Amino acid sequence: MQSTCKATTRAGRPCGGTARASGFCWFHDPALADQRAAGRRLGGSARSNRSRARRQLMDAAMSPAEIGGLLSMTLTKVIAGQTEPGVGNAAANLGKAIVAVQQAAEIEQRLEALEQALGQTERGGRSA
């Protein structure tokens, strides 16, 4: 027969947890206080949106086509119930932001190339 924890709850009732060798359950064992504190510090960080998104996204920069493929797979997983909708929403928002930054960088490069070509044409036209 398993013994119960010898601690009392905050309400003053005996704890109903299964006792370990120390006579206390995992929640009341003073020797496990550091482990419980570490668990509280970690809290739900492994379940946070950031952590879930990190597990889903690759580390390398992706092209718009790769982002589209990832979002398609994420959508399929959300529909199948394998991924939480919040993860899909976060991935979609991040994907849109990444594509917008990539497009802005491309436009900036093209504009710079046009300005250089225009500057060379103007200089070439003046000296001729």
Segments making up each domain of the chain, as ranges = 1-43, 49-127
- Shortest CA distance to 9 belongs to which of 24, 22, 20, 32? 24
- For 5, phi then psi, to 5°, come to -60, 140
pLDDT at 60: 60
What is 22-91 written as a DSSP string?
TSS-TTT-GGGHHHHHHHHHHTTGGGSHHHHHHHHS-SS---HHHHHHHHHHHHHHHHHTSS-HHHHHHH
Residue 82 vs residue 60, higher pLDDT: 82
What whole-number distance in Å separates Cα of residue 52 and Cα of residue 36? 23
Q: Which of 32-36, 39-43, 51-55, 97-101 has the lowest mean pLDDT?
A: 51-55
Place of tokens 């929640």: 27
Residues 66-83 pLDDT 10s: 888 888 888 899 899 998
Confidence of residue 39 (pLDDT cuts 50, 70, 90): confident
Amino acid at 84: E
